[in-house]
Amino acid sequence: MELILDDEGTHTLFGNHDENLRMLEDEFSVKISSRGGEIFVTGAPDNVAPVEKLLAQMQELIEQGYPLKRSDIHTSMRVLRDRPDASLVDFFTDDAVQASVRRVVTPRNVAQKMYLQSIQDNDITFGIGPAGTGKTFLAVAAAAGALADKSVKRIVLCRPAVEAGERLGFLPGDIAEKVNPYLRPLYDSLFDIVGFEKVEKLIERSVIEIAPLAFMRGRTLNDAFIILDEAQNTTPEQMKMFLTRLGFGAKAVVTGDVTQVDLPTGAKSGLRVVRQILEGIDRIRFFDFSDRDVVRHPVVQKIVMAYDRVDKEREKQEKV
């Protein structure tokens, strides 16, 4: 296939020491080489075709001025794995994801892009799926984007203060210091997306608020982007309380993994119950991620799949 880029563009496509090409070789079991104005991909035809498509469309993106990153090659592989007929150029450049969100984060597979679109189109979106699928991170990115383009006036992030299978006992300090460890994952996402200093200033001005779920009772939140994280650890009563906090101009995202419930034995998860009650209501969307959508370290996907397999086997035995 023809190489249509100048030296700088070729370096961007190939990566340092051709690391992008080596990654494609490992993923698709092909050999890639270049000579003069051509790139040669050799291997089984079914493996060569997606690689040539990926390289051709990456070249087109670079020509359009898109700032290609190594992670975009990973993303392209995931997109073509899920949808072989997908246009990578459209995936990275279309307006389905608002520009203010694209400035802070780029979806890394088709599911993430559809999830961001769902958040944009609906008043309440439930993001349900395993760890590592980007449920909370993308919700925080969408919130940051909405704040940047003035669609909302503030961001409210909360999660239930439930211990993950441990009994921590008495925690010293004032109320903020006691609940802070439970809210740390939300801080981490904000710092990654918005930046530490800016987040600190926005928290001081109460433009960003991070609080345990119990603090939401009795409030009405207007013109706010509200995120409830770890929602599998809410009770049905807490879930109802949270959802009825929405005021005018507000948007909510609820995230959780129903396979990791840390509630006391016998207690019902509000995230499981709410689907039976609200599914089908206009402007409310339930979005499901699968283990195929995990975008952390590759071994995380294998861990999720292994646990899922054991859980399904246990469920079969219990039915017998």
Residue 126, pLDDT score: 97
**Residue range 183-192: mean pLDDT, rounded:** 83
Q: Which residue has the higher pLDDT, 168 or 200?
A: 200
Residue 74, pLDDT score: 85
Residue 314, pLDDT score: 81
Question: Which range has the worst mean pLDDT, 6-15, 95-104, 126-135, 244-253?
Answer: 95-104
Question: Which range has the worst mean pLDDT, 1-5, 22-26, 84-88?
Answer: 1-5
Residue 309, pLDDT score: 85
Residue 32, pLDDT score: 93
Q: Provide the whole-model pTM.
A: 0.76
Residue 37, pLDDT score: 82
Contacts 24+ apart (CB under 8 A), 110-119: 110/78, 110/79, 110/82, 110/83, 110/86, 111/82, 111/289, 111/290, 111/293, 112/138, 112/293, 112/295, 114/287, 115/287, 115/289, 116/141, 116/142, 118/285, 118/287, 119/251, 119/253
Q: Which residue has the higher pLDDT, 158 or 176?
A: 158
Q: Which residue has the higher pLDDT, 257 or 131?
A: 257
**Residue range 262-277: mean pLDDT, rounded:** 91
Residue 7, pLDDT score: 85
β-pair type (124-128, 154-159)? unpaired
Residue 168, pLDDT score: 43
Report the half-sphere exposure of 115 (CA within 13 A, side-chain side). 29
